[in-house]
Amino acid sequence: MDPRLETLRTQAPGLVDDADSLEALDAVEQQVVGRASPIAEIRRGLGQLPAEERPIVGRAVKEVADEIAVLVDRRRSVLEDEAETALLAADAVDLTVPMDERATGTHHLITSTIDEIVDIFVGLGYRVADGPEVETGWYNFDALNTPADHPARAESDTLYVDFGEPEDEMLLRTQTSPMQARYMQDHDPPVHVVVPGRVFRNETLDATHSPVFHQVEGLAVDTDITFGDLKGTLEHFAREFFGPSTGTRFRPHFFPFTEPSAEVDVTCFGCDGSGCKVCGGPGWVEVLGCGMVDPAVFDAVGYDSAGVTGFAFGMGVERMAMARHGLTHIRHLWENDLRVLGQFR
């Protein structure tokens, strides 16, 4: 046998076994059986050998080449299995690794506050109504006993869409109270209704005021309603909304469409009356206005002011939310900062 074949047969197994990757194995295969290998050189020289030696050398070359092919195929199968195992390991999903948590949606604090307020009154038998945000001057002012020279009707306070004679005025409603008149025009007494909605005023944005905010209006009308009914209703609401130990205080006030009128304070839930950032010191927080419906309002909508009585109340939703949660600036409700809003899920 050609000494080159003997050397190749001896060295090939070690070269093949030492190949640690498919690329390295391809390089070894080229080295031992490729065009520049001893086997290729011997094959190219077969034609120069004597005729009787050609078959012998040819069989020897084939024998060695076949042995090397078996070694290469076996090693390639092993390396392919190892490569596939490594690939599967790299693609494996570690089910023990915590997943990234995505923020889930929730109701905005204003929406949830409105829903909670309304639910309390629905539990007392009140119905829910809504009305137009673009309102007439008659419903927003005249029907509510607000005279033409009242400061609230000035352009400095009210956002007018069409400013003119009272019967032609169109404006962005300054309160949800116009629905008192609208609802009573369409419904005979007894009436028990709450009206949540958005309102608009020409105000400068500061810690507690915004030109756009929300209110919940309430109205109760029947043949024998007293201020005691109003007081009992709002005391019940305060306990339900702020907590069972909440106290209330009614202070005389003035509203054109109620007489007598009052503002309602609740005991501060941020302190025991010693003073805190929620109440500012006195231990009380103002939350809403109320009063007995003025007979002039009943006359404006066609009710018999001598035969019925009623009360009305209105509260700012933002004020209620800020008071309840100790928010220091109304902008926190509008900036849509999820770090803030997420605290009120």
Region 123-146: mean pLDDT is 94
70 and 139 fall within a common domain: no
Place of tokens 């949606």: 105
Residue 98 falls within a domain, yes or no?
no
pLDDT at 233 > cutoff 80: yes
pLDDT score at 183:
96
74 and 30 fall within a common domain: yes
Burial (CB < 10 A; 0-12, 13-18, 19+), residue 320, is buried
**Residue at which a domain ends, from 91, 124, 147:** 91
137 and 213 fall within a common domain: yes
Q: What is the pLDDT of residues 242-280, one digit of tens each?
A: 888 888 999 999 999 999 999 998 887 767 667 776 666
Q: What is the pLDDT of residues 175-195, one digit of tens each?
A: 999 999 999 999 999 999 999
Residue 331 falls within a domain, yes or no?
yes
pLDDT at 167 > cutoff 70: no
Which range has the worst mean pLDDT, 55-64, 77-86, 226-235, 257-266? Answer: 55-64
pLDDT at 299 > cutoff 80: yes
pLDDT at 37 > cutoff 70: yes
- Report how far residue 34's alpha carbon sits from residue 36's, in angstroms, rounded to the nearest whole number: 6
**Residue at which a domain ends, from 57, 91, 125:** 91
pLDDT score at 237:
96
Which range has the worst mean pLDDT, 11-25, 114-128, 308-322? Answer: 11-25
What's this model's pTM, rounded to 2 decimal places?
0.68
Q: Domain of 201: which CATH number?
A: 3.30.930.10
Q: What is the pLDDT of residues 136-165, one digit of tens each?
A: 999 999 999 998 888 888 888 899 998 767
Residue 193 falls within a domain, yes or no?
yes
- One-letter amino acid for residue 308 of the chain: V
> 127-144 burial, b for 16+ CB within 10 Å, e for fewer?
eebebeeebbbbbbbbbb
pLDDT score at 272:
63
Q: Which domain holds residue 146?
A: 109-344
Burial (CB < 10 A; 0-12, 13-18, 19+), residue 206, is exposed
β-partners of residue 249 are 265
pLDDT at 166 > cutoff 70: no
153 and 218 fall within a common domain: yes
Cα 183 to the chain's mean position, in Å?
34
- The confidence band for 227, taking pLDDT boundaries of 50, 70 and 90, is very high
Residue 96 falls within a domain, yes or no?
no
**Residue at which a domain ends, from 60, 91, 122:** 91
71 and 115 fall within a common domain: no
Specify the number of domains making up the chain: 2
Q: Is the dihedral of CA 27, 30, 33, 39 positive or negative?
A: negative
- Within 8 A by CB and 6+ apart from 235, the residues are 248
